[in-house]
Amino acid sequence: MPELTQDQARSLAEDFFEVAKAVGDFRFAHDDLTPEQESVLHSLQEQLSNESNHFTAVAIQLTLDDLQPTLDRINAVTQQVNDAVTTLNNVRSVITVATSFVALGAAIASGSPGTIASAAQDTIQALQAA
């Protein structure tokens, strides 16, 4: 079986989550279940939820693997930003560099590789302009 893509893993995680939720909703909507039926449905809901969590973890790992070159670049940029902020004498330059770095942090939080790469490039340009 070929490896999953990030999007496929995220989609599977969502699918398993939705089915787990549906099983849980069914359990709670039917108060006429026997203890055995309740137990079986609860166990299935947990298994489906675990599968959802697994696919979420796979998606995160795939994202991190794809981002490793960008993360290496971010580490280098972080040091450059730190050096610039501690050595620049122009307040506007410090604000510009720090602002671009805040935007980079927001891009990282978004998890979008394209947005992260763009924000990293913006930070590099702000450093060069300083």
Low-confidence residues in the chain, pLDDT < 70: 1-2
Strands (E), the chain: none
Per-residue tokens: 31: 């108060």
Q: Is residue 57 part of a domain?
A: yes
Q: Is residue 103 part of a domain?
A: yes
Q: Is residue 1 part of a domain?
A: no
How confident is the model over 24-57, as pLDDT tens digits? 999 999 999 999 999 999 999 999 999 999 999 9
Q: How many domains does the chain have?
A: 1
2, 8 contact by CB (below 8 A): no
The number of C-alpha atoms within 13 Å of 26 and in the hemisphere containing its C-beta is 15
Q: Is residue 47 part of a domain?
A: yes
pLDDT at position 1: 57
The domain in which residue 34 lies consists of 6-129
pLDDT at position 110: 81
Evaluate if pTM is beyond 0.85.
no
